[in-house]
């Protein structure tokens, strides 16, 4: 049912009911008063509850993020940066994560400050020959932008640790070795 269908159905019901009279209004108010009275009774029934939960139950909305969600956003954003080849770990972990075999948030941790800002710690593998300070600036910009766009959280700081540097030749050799091992395991399983 679309919103227009719902509006039309409500309009039909109002037309069928006819004009509202003063006698109709107390029923609505009475229902509201009943709710108000029961809340007042429960707050004053002497059970030690001073009514603090009352505000939380019906009047406050809440949006929270698990650390894992924030870590995942950070990890994906970090991988979007040119010359970041992978997250914390050795070269084999890097190749495995390229095939989805590793934990996506490996190498990322977050801390939330008392004022609800985020401190991000990231450990990465970068391409040999690239200027690390430029990569750091790119990671800070990308991670901050993604976190603000997706969560609205303010970033208090980003700490980037370079765990390893990898040449294109090392990467290709490890990638080939990993693929060959997968093929051998698959052949052994089917034999």
Q: What is the CATH number of the domain that holds 71?
A: 3.30.70.1350
pLDDT band for position 100 (cuts 50, 70, 90): low
Nearest to 55 by CA among 38, 39, 37: 39
143 and 173 part of one domain: yes
Q: Quick count: other Cβ atoms within 10 Å of Cβ 118? A: 22
Question: Integer distance in angstroms from the first to the last C-alpha of the chain?
Answer: 55
Residues 71 and 53 in one domain: no
| pTM of this structure | 0.59
| CA angle at 38 for the pair 26 and 28, rounded to the nearest 5° | 20
User: How wide is the angle at C-alpha 166 spanned by C-alphas 164 and 167, nearest 5°?
Assistant: 160
Of residues 30 and 129, more confidence is placed in 129
Note whether 116 and 133 are same-domain residues: yes
Going by pLDDT thresholds of 50, 70 and 90, the confidence category of residue 22 is: very low
Report the mean per-residue pLDDT for the chain: 74
Per the structure, how many domains does the chain have?
2
Q: Are 99 and 177 contained in the same domain?
A: yes
Say yes or no: 22 and 84 in one domain. no
Domain that holds residue 125: 67-190
Comparing 4-18, 77-91, 92-106, which segment has the lowest mean pLDDT? 4-18
Shared domain for 72 and 35, answered yes or no, is: no
């Amino acid at each position: 049912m679309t919103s227009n269908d719902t509006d039309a159905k409500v309009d039909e019901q109002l037309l069928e009911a006819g004009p509202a009279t003063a006698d109709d209004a107390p029923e609505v108010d009475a229902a509201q008063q009943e709710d108000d009275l029961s809340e007042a009774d429960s707050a004053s029934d002497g059970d030690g509850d001073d009514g603090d939960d009352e505000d939380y139950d019906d009047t406050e909305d809440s949006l929270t993020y698990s650390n894992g969600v924030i870590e995942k956003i950070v990890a994906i954003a970090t991988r979007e940066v040119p010359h970041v080849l992978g997250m914390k770990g050795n070269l084999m972990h890097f190749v495995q994560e390229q095939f989805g075999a590793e934990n996506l948030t490996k190498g990322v941790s977050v801390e939330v400050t008392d004022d609800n800002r985020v401190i991000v710690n990231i450990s990465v593998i970068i391409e040999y020959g690239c200027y690390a300070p430029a990569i750091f600036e790119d990671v800070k910009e990308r991670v901050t932008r993604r976190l603000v766009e997706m969560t609205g959280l303010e970033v208090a700081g980003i700490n980037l640790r370079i765990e390893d540097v990898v040449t294109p030749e090392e990467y290709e050799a490890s990638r080939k070795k990993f693929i060959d091992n997968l093929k051998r395991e698959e052949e052994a399983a089917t034999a």
